[in-house]
Structures are given as C-alpha cells and as structure tokens.
Amino acid sequence: MTLATDLAGLDATAQAELVHSGEVSATELVDAAIERIERLNPQLNAVALPMFEHARDAVRTGVPSGPFAGVPYLLKDLVVEIEGTPFHEGSLFLRDHVSSYTSELVTRLQRAGLVVLGRTSTPEFGMAPTCESALYGPTRNPWDPAYSTSGSSGGSAAAVASGMVPMAHGNDLGGSLRFPAAACGLFGLKPTRARVPLGPEYGDAVCGWAVEHALTVSVRDSATLLDATAGPMLGDPYPAPPLARPLLAEVGADPGRLRIAYSPRTPGGALGHRDCVAALDDAVGLCASLGHEVVEADLPGLDDTVGAAIGTVFDSATAWIIGYWARRLGRRPGPDELDPLTRAYWERGRQVSAADHLLAVTDLQAFARAVARFLTGFDAWLTPTMSEPPALLGEITSTREEPLRAAERGASTVAYPLVVANITGNPAMSVPLSWNAAGLPIGVHFLGRFGDEATLLRLAAQLEEARPWANRRAPLHATLVKCGDPQGC
C-alpha cells in the first residue's frame, strides 16, 4: 500500500501525531491528500475548486505546531473566505468572484495547523438538501455514486467519507451539516449559536441560525477542532456560553445516566421511512443498554404558526443573500445566473416585509423558550436525522417549469425538524450508527441543551466506543480504490 492509502485510514488526530513525532512530514500529508483527491474526485465531484499550489506554498513556509499540524483540510464553498482565492458559493452569479478578505475562522484553522487544499461543492447558496448546482454539477455519494450526499455540506461529506481528507468544513443553517453527515456515514456536530465566529464580514447570519464547524470521522477530531476555533471575535454581537473545560476532555468522560427523549414522528405526525425508524429503534435500544433512561416524547410547540414563521425567515434570508451579493458585486444577477429554486425563493423573499420578518422572529423565539422548558426534563432529544435514505441523484432538482420541485422533493428527505437547533441555537449532532440493506448510511440525531456540547460529546464518544463506525468504509474509499477504478488496477 502507498503512504496516501495508509494515511486515508487515519483520523486527523492520528495524522497530526505522525507529524508531531517526526514519522511523517506535513508535506507528505498534503501530497498524499492531493493524490487521493486526484484519484477519487473524478468519480465523486466533491472538490469543486482545488487549491493545491496554495496548500504546498503554505507547507513550504511552515505550518504552526497546533493540534492538527500539517493535516489537510477542505473548505466548503460557502460563507468562509480566503483573500485572493476564488469563492463562488455554488452560484453562476459569483463565478468570477475572488475573495477580498480572509475569514477569522480560516485564521483559526491555520493556527491549529490545518492546510487548506481547496473548496468543496455546495448547492447554490446552500439552498437545497443535495449538491447538484448548475455551476458544479452533481456530487456523488461514496457509498453508492447513484445517490445524493444530501446537502448543503455534501461536497465536504463526500470528501471525508471517501478518505480524501480526514475532516472538512461544513456549515449549518437548517441541517446542512447534519444531513450530509447522515447520508455519508460521518459524525456531524452543530455547535451552539455563536460558538464559532462568522467575522469579520458577518456578526451573525439569519438571526443566529447559521453556524460553522466540520464533518469528521471521529468524535475526538470534532471536539479538538471546536476547541481550536471556538470563542467570540472582537465586535461579535453576542458570545456563546463559556465552556467549563476543553471539549476534548469530554471525549471518553463518563456521561452518567442521561435522560433521553425520543420520537419517530415528523412534525406532521407521520413516521419517517422504515429504514430511518429502524435506525432510531436501534439507537434507542443501544442507549438503554448503556444505562440511559429513554422516554418517548414529542417536542412541544411545533405547530403551523412555527412552520409559517420558518418559511418567512427562510424566504427573507434568501432575499438578504441575493441582496448582499448584489451590493458586494455592484450588480443584480442576470436571468441565467441563478438556479430556478434560488430565483423562486428570492422572488418570494422580496415580498416579505420587515414587519412580517420580525413577527416571524417573535413566534420562533417563543417556540425556542418552549423547547428550553422541554429540555429541562431531558438531556437530549433523539430522532432519525433524515426522514428517508439518501435520494437518487436528479430527484432533488428544479427546472424553470417547476422551480420549487427541489424544495418539495427535498422536504420529504429532511422532514425531521433539525432546524429546531438553528432556531433555538442549541447544539445538536448526527451520529452514524446504522446502515440499511442497500448499504447506505442512516444517521440518528440528538438535540442538546443550549450551550451544552459537553454532554453531547460525552454521549457521542460512548456510542462510538460501543458501536465503532470508523472502520466501516464506503466502496469508493481511498483505502479501497486504486487508480480511480473501484475494482483496482
């Protein structure tokens, strides 16, 4: 086996340990990751904007001896920018854009020793639960390339699930990190609101719904990375509650006997797909076997008023996104520069008044208080992550004739209310505990209490130990695929 293949089986922490011990150099880590991307990306279309020379230049100048010294990393092509490099947010509207500043998150990632190799595919402005934009085309799932990675962090999910890199950036405004984690068999933690800064360009985004973090293979990588990136930036509008100790210290710590609520029902009262409900049942049994109290209970307050308010905020958010970029670029998008779904959302969003938006925020803040009261009686709320297994590519797409088709079909795959964590600001996570008979991953989802990533990470590490998932490899994984041929060379 080659070094590139050997390294593909290690998480980011293990790769960094090789650099710290002198067994492998940062240059070797980066070159090995580039080799894996070149080998696998033609089949998966996960990396949309390679930045290989940028990465090699960074290594030549010397990487910091942080927790991830020399470890290769990919940025999702959304929100987070690097000065002087292309940045498109999956949109033809931005296809010629080059960033004029570097995000604070990138500075913190680099300080931790990570080396950015490129940008991963995303649907236009992160709007759909699949990665199939007009600009980048479809990203394929390493577990079966006929299927979607979900979205909107699906490019990053495919890159990690295939072993191109051990972890990659994702962001989450309504489940966009956790859905692809479930679809690709990865661990996906959505941090507490304002845990990771969005500056210098943004104070918060969409009432605090949007958060930044990563898709990882291991729980320890997620905890260590959040330790390295957490904390307010000067001038942020508000901070997240302080952590009692580093989150890595929670990995392996005894979670105690937790009280976990669960529900198989979507907000409308229907059950999800049988594979998703079976994954939930399995997770309930596993949690009970680990000594936790598990109680069936539906989340209160998810009524039509809340649903309408979510739609209002989402529509106004789309109008804000297009308005922001029109102002920054100095022009409005042309008739063929937006995907049909984005244009439909934009047209709807321009009809939302300031009063409508603030009334929706009022309703959602009342709902958030109901969730907080509910979680005084529980440590977490458990559901399936997705309401269907990953969809076939092409199913969650729109046309000019049917601009909302992607939203309508996509909604059937993501009917469980992961957006609750964005509305409330609470941390949440998707954990890869099950696979269906077709070999596709089926994740389960835990909503935690506000500011309490610690409890979620203790539980996640316990589940990871009881049901290890890291050695379960996708058919299109760098440890299995040679020369771009799944059957070998």
Active site residues: 76, 152, 176
**How many whole angstroms separate alpha carbon 69 and alpha carbon 16?**
5
CA R_g for the chain: 21
* Long-range contacts of residues 38-43, Cβ cutoff 8 Å, at least 24 apart: 39/4, 39/478, 39/481, 39/482, 39/483, 39/484, 40/142, 40/162, 40/163, 40/164, 40/476, 40/478, 40/481, 40/484, 41/164, 42/484, 43/140, 43/145, 43/476, 43/481, 43/484, 43/486
Beta bridge partners of 118: 50, 74
**How many whole angstroms separate alpha carbon 152 and alpha carbon 102?**
22
Q: Can you read off the two tokens belonging to residue 106?
A: 């990138």
> Tokens 């905890």 map to which residue?
223
Residue in 69, 180, 71, 178 with CA at minimum distance from that of residue 120: 180
**How many whole angstroms separate alpha carbon 72 and alpha carbon 165?**
6
Question: Which residues, 6 or more positions from 157, have their beta carbon under 8 angstroms from its beta carbon?
Answer: 149, 150, 168, 170, 180, 181, 183, 184, 186, 215
Question: Which residues, 6 or more positions from 323, have their beta carbon under 8 angstroms from its beta carbon?
Answer: none
Residue in 82, 97, 48, 130 with CA at minimum distance from that of residue 324: 97
Pairing assessment for the beta strands 293-296 and 259-262 based on DSSP bridges: parallel
**How many whole angstroms separate alpha carbon 222 and alpha carbon 262?**
24
Q: 40 and 478 in contact (C-beta within 8 Å)?
A: yes
Residue in 382, 423, 451 with CA at minimum distance from that of residue 207: 423
